[in-house]
């Protein structure tokens, strides 16, 4: 009896990760991918209703800008996605500029688990994990905003969470017997180096979070041993919002996930649901062959998680935007059609991952 109780969640989790998802039909894509409003990505920092505007300030750890960004996130979560559990993972560390004093780093975790997670208890449902860093780089001699780095990716994730929540009730119902994963959003602090990028002067927030999760153990009979193992896919958005992004497929192990997103980009463009007119697809590597992958990758917040075994989809353009780490990386230099299209593509990817294709059947 006890053994059976153990094997059911295990079996369900195996099923949910291996069953073929339903492709979202064209008609359903048209209804599920809305157009962002004018307010959603408004550039004015004083527009509290904009997801993006209030982030277009300097957000250096240990400064008032960091706290203003945090307040923007918590206010958003309370108002728009109260169903999501908000938690903090805090740490502190000296930096090369802090003269031995600790600088605070605060990661924010927004987690939405399906109703069947309640019955099964902690650590039994996988989590699609979407991440971006909200700190901005300290640059001497000017106010560096970091609009692509990574204010816009954070705003994209907020928009995705809000629009996704409008669908989850219908998709998940109240049933405790469903299958499939939940989703979490990581708003990471302290990605940037204070002086120059080294193993210790960079990734302050993500290093602390990955280590903390590795040391958090779920109950013995849980499907997943700890929150790190719970990550079904770690999708990292960074340096997004400049026109004509070229985002390669970096990892052969997650190329299948890249292909899913690239296919969705193509379908959304075909259906006229994207507004940018780039010179090439954002995700041009769908047909990349196994032999073409190298061991090269870009250092970023995925590293501490990848090192510990999490599968990673890194959405960062190569080459980097022209404005990278220059004072020009501000709201005025964002290409808003590109920002909104990243929001639409990411939402489509998440919906497909959560098997929203089956909504067709629920509705009829």
Q: What is the DSSP letter of 105?
A: E
- Please pick, among 238, 303, 335, 352, the residue that the annotation labels catalytic: 238
3-state secondary structure of 91: strand
| Active-site residue flag, 191 | yes
The Cα–Cα gap between 336 and 344 comes to: 12
Catalytic, 300? Answer no
Query: CB of residue 177 vs Zn ion: minimum separation in angstroms?
Result: 45
Rounded to a whole number of angstroms, the CA Rg of the chain reads: 20
Q: Which residues pair with 39 in a beta bridge?
A: none
CA distance 315 to 317: 7
Q: Does 189 contact Zn ion by CB under 5 A?
A: no
Binding window for Zn ion (CB under 5 A); candidates: 132-140, 160-168, 282-290, 339-347: 132-140
Q: How far is the CB of 237 from Zn ion (least distance, A)?
A: 13
Q: How far is the CB of 8 from Zn ion (least distance, A)?
A: 45
Cβ-based nearer residue to Zn ion, 150 or 230? 150
Is residue 330 at the binding interface for Zn ion, with CB under 5 A as the rule? no
| Binding window for Zn ion (CB under 5 A); candidates: 51-59, 119-127, 137-145, 313-321 | 137-145
Nearer CB in complex with Zn ion: 137/229 = 137
Q: Least distance to Zn ion from the beta carbon of 100, Å? A: 25
H or E element that contains 128: strand 127-133
Interface with Zn ion (CB under 5 A), residue total 2
Query: Residue 352: helix, strand or coil by DSSP?
Result: helix
Q: Which of 163, 191, 303, 341 is catalytic?
A: 191
Q: Cα–Cα distance between 338 and 310 in angstroms, integer?
A: 28
The answer to the question of residue 149 lying near Zn ion (CB under 5 A) is: yes
Which range of residues in 28-36, 50-58, 142-150, 163-171 is near Zn ion by CB under 5 A? Answer: 142-150
Task: Choose among 186, 22, 164, 181: nearest CA to 115.
Answer: 181
Instruction: CB nearer to Zn ion: give 137 or 162.
Output: 137
Give the whole-angstrom CA distance, residue 230 versus residue 217: 11
253 HSE (CA, 13 A, CB side): 11
* Minimum separation from the CB atom of position 9 to Zn ion (A): 40
Read off the tokens for 148: 């692509």
Where in the sequence numbering do the catalytic residues fall? Answer: 191, 238
Site of interaction with Zn ion (CB under 5 A)? 137, 149
């Amino acid at each position: 009896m006890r053994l059976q109780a153990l094997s059911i969640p295990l079996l369900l989790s195996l099923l949910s990760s291996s069953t073929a998802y339903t492709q979202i039909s064209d008609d359903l894509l048209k209804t599920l991918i809305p157009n962002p409003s004018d307010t959603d990505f408004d550039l004015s920092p004083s527009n509290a209703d904009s997801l993006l505007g209030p982030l277009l300030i300097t957000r250096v750890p240990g400064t008032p800008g960091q706290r203003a960004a945090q307040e923007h996130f918590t206010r958003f979560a309370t108002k728009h996605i109260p169903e999501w559990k908000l938690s903090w993972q805090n740490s502190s560390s000296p930096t090369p500029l802090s003269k031995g004093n600790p600088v605070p780093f605060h990661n924010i975790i927004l987690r939405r688990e399906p109703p069947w997670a309640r019955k099964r208890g902690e650590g039994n449902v996988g989590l699609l994990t979407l991440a971006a860093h909200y700190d901005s780089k300290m640059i001497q001699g000017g106010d560096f905003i970091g609009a692509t780095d990574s204010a816009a990716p954070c705003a994209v994730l907020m928009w995705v969470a809000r629009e996704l929540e409008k669908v989850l009730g219908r998709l998940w119902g109240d049933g405790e017997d469903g299958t499939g994963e939940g989703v979490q959003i990581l708003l990471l602090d302290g990605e940037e180096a204070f002086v120059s990028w080294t193993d210790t002067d960079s990734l302050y927030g993500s290093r602390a979070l990955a280590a903390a999760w590795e040391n958090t153990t779920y109950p013995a009979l849980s499907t997943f041993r700890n929150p790190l193992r719970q990550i079904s896919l770690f999708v990292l958005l960074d340096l997004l919002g400049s026109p004509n992004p070229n985002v390669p497929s970096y990892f052969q192990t997650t190329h299948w996930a890249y292909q899913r997103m690239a296919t969705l980009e193509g379908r959304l463009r075909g259906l006229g649901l994207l507004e940018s007119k780039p010179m090439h697809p954002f995700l041009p590597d769908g047909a990349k062959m196994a032999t073409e992958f190298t061991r090269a990758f870009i250092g970023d917040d995925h590293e501490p998680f990848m090192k510990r075994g999490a599968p990673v989809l890194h959405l960062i353009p190569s080459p980097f935007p022209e404005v990278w780490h220059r004072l020009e990386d501000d709201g005025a230099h964002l290409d808003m059609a590109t920002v909104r299209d990243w929001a639409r593509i990411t939402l489509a990817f998440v919906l497909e991952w959560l098997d929203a294709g089956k909504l067709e059947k629920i509705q009829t």
